[in-house]
Amino acid sequence: MKAQFGIIGLATMGQNLALNIARHGFSVAGYNRSPERTKALMERVQDEPILPTYSLREFVVALKTPRAILLMVQAGKPVDEVVSELFPLLEPGDLVIDGGNSHFSDTERRIREAQSRGLFYLGVGISGGEAGALHGPAIMAGGDQEGYVRVEPIFKSIAAQGLDGPCVGYFGPGGAGHYVKMVHNGIEYAIMQAIAECYDLLKRGLGFSPPEISEIFSEWNQGELESYLLEITVNILRTRDPETGGFLVEAIKDTAEQKGTGKWSTQDALDLGAPTPTIAEAVFARIVSALKEERLAAERILAGPEPRLPIPPGEFLMDLKRAYALAVVTAYSQGFRQLRDATAEHGYDFPLAEVARVWTGGCIIRARLLAEMREAFRREPSLPLLLLAEPFRQFWKEGHESLRNVVCAAHKAGIPVPAMSSVLNFLDAYRTGRLPANLIQAQRDYFGAHTYERLDKPGKFHTHWEEASRC
Ligand code: 6PG
């Protein structure tokens, strides 16, 4: 019997997806370059229909035609290496699915290559980490629609259940699926950074212990702010270090790594001219965190205030919760805005309500608020900024003073809050009808004759500033 589905790349994500797919009744052939991982998968198999293979050729022959093959290999060169070995072994009509975090432009290139060989190719963002892969991820697909239709039943059966069904979406041709996943990760970075800033303010600013902070976050997580990222943070903060007996989080080195999706999201936002400063700040915050040695040296040179918040904790906690809520809604607002802007530039056409629906379950940024986000985009599909719609504008109304209090207090105490202060800067700029950019235009025209527009009449104007300023 030939297998209905194939997976190349059997690290944890690949193994877990193989088990998930097989447990839903689809037979799976697995292949990994180093056989140890294939063997490790087979040790986990009970009675799931999984067939191990030990060469690419054996793998290809083991699959029912037309084949459907999921690549779960590291993004970048490893995907190109597998693709260049695999494509020549396939037949027209076969389907290759890249389930890693590939850059959307790499996916577009590989789709062209696949099409020239008569193959179908999908770029699919799979979110939810190891547990999601095993029990139900969110799946953001893009690429050849004909290929997608073939594997949709498998995706739907293995995905998490969210609002109105499985968290699976087809978001259009080319790299659309990987684009949505990239922006998902940008939002993920911003929310993680906002949570980390709250933790720092509570820890260094108010002297709370990890389990006390865990309790606070747990209370936040009871209501409309309920989210996966908050939930895991609650658990992290109460976890003990078996080696020292202290809290494990305090033993972890304060340098955040990154695989690139947040950076790519920001790079493309810059190319598009999409306003995602909070996502960008979260990427820069990771970059600064990585400069551990330099930070330790600078700590001794650049003295600053004591990182203490001289505020009654009760009052501050109310402000912090509202500030956090506004920061989270802004992170999503910026991400959805990027998806909207990418439509014109990259030729995608993201149905934002459907993106929000797919994110209601399985993925890392799943949160209760996504149901309301979906409604907001259903009412107004091309809403420029989520925060302009109800109920999200309430987050501004009820939260902006609190955010000001938090950011001011943090700045005074010398505690960095790049995500939260960027939220405030962004929203204050966005709601200001007249910004000081008129002066920037005048400066550009002064030194570069770049011209400027006027408020009172149409056209482009240039002034000989040296001359004119002498009169
Ligand atoms: C997900 C995660 C997942 C992974 C990221 C982490 O949606 O399941 O986003 O894709 O954890 O690769 O990215 P960084 O290494 O860049 O933090």
Euclidean distance between the first and the last CA atom of the chain, given in angstroms as a whole number: 90
Distance (Å) of CA 294 to CA 73, 253, 257, 298, 416: 34, 14, 16, 6, 16
Question: For strand 165-166 and strand 168-170, is the pairing parallel, antiparallel, or unpaired?
Answer: unpaired
- Using a 10 angstrom Cβ sphere, with 0-12 exposed, 13-18 middle and 19 or more buried, the burial of residue 390 is exposed
Q: Which amino acid is at 154?
A: I
Whether the CB-CB separation of 184 and 140 falls below 8 Å is answered with yes
What's the pLDDT score for residue 422?
A: 98
Write down all domains in the chain, each with its CATH number in brackets.
Answer: 5-174 (3.40.50.720), 181-430 (1.10.1040.10), 437-470 (1.20.5.320)
36 CA from centroid of ligand 1 (Å): 24
Block mean pLDDT (10 aa), the chain, length 471: 97 98 98 98 97 98 98 98 98 98 98 98 98 98 98 98 98 98 98 99 98 98 98 98 97 97 98 98 98 98 97 95 98 98 91 98 98 98 97 98 98 98 98 98 98 98 97 85
Q: What is the residue with the minimal CA distance to atom 11 of ligand 1?
A: 129
Rounded to whole angstroms, the Cα distance separating 368 from 187 reads 15
Contacts of 254 (CB under 8 A, 6+ apart): 289, 292
Residue environment code for 104-126, b if the CB has 16+ CB neighbours within 10 A, otherwise e = bebbbbbbeebeeeebbbbbbbb
125 lines ligand 1 (CB under 6 A): no
What's the pLDDT score for residue 344?
A: 80
16 lines ligand 1 (CB under 6 A): no
Which of these is catalytic: 181, 203, 263, 321?
181
Q: What is the DSSP letter of 388?
A: G
pLDDT tens sequence across 185-195? 999 999 999 99
Question: For strand 68-71 and strand 161-162, is the pairing parallel, antiparallel, or unpaired?
Answer: unpaired
181 is catalytic: yes
Whether the CB-CB separation of 359 and 369 falls below 8 Å is answered with no
Residue 137 Cα: closest atom of ligand 1: 8
Rounded to whole angstroms, the Cα distance separating 68 from 72 reads 13
What's the pLDDT score for residue 345?
A: 87
What's the pLDDT score for residue 375?
A: 98
Contacts of 56 (CB under 8 A, 6+ apart): 8, 31, 85, 86, 89
Ligand 1 probe mutation, 181, 188, 283, most atoms within 8 A of CB: 188
* Residue 333, both tokens: 């607002």
Q: What is the residue with the minimal CA distance to atom 9 of ligand 1?
A: 185
Ligand 1 probe mutation, 72, 101, 178, most atoms within 8 A of CB: 101
Q: Which amino acid is at 21?
A: I
101 lines ligand 1 (CB under 6 A): yes
Whether the CB-CB separation of 122 and 141 falls below 8 Å is answered with yes
Which of these is catalytic: 36, 108, 156, 188?
188
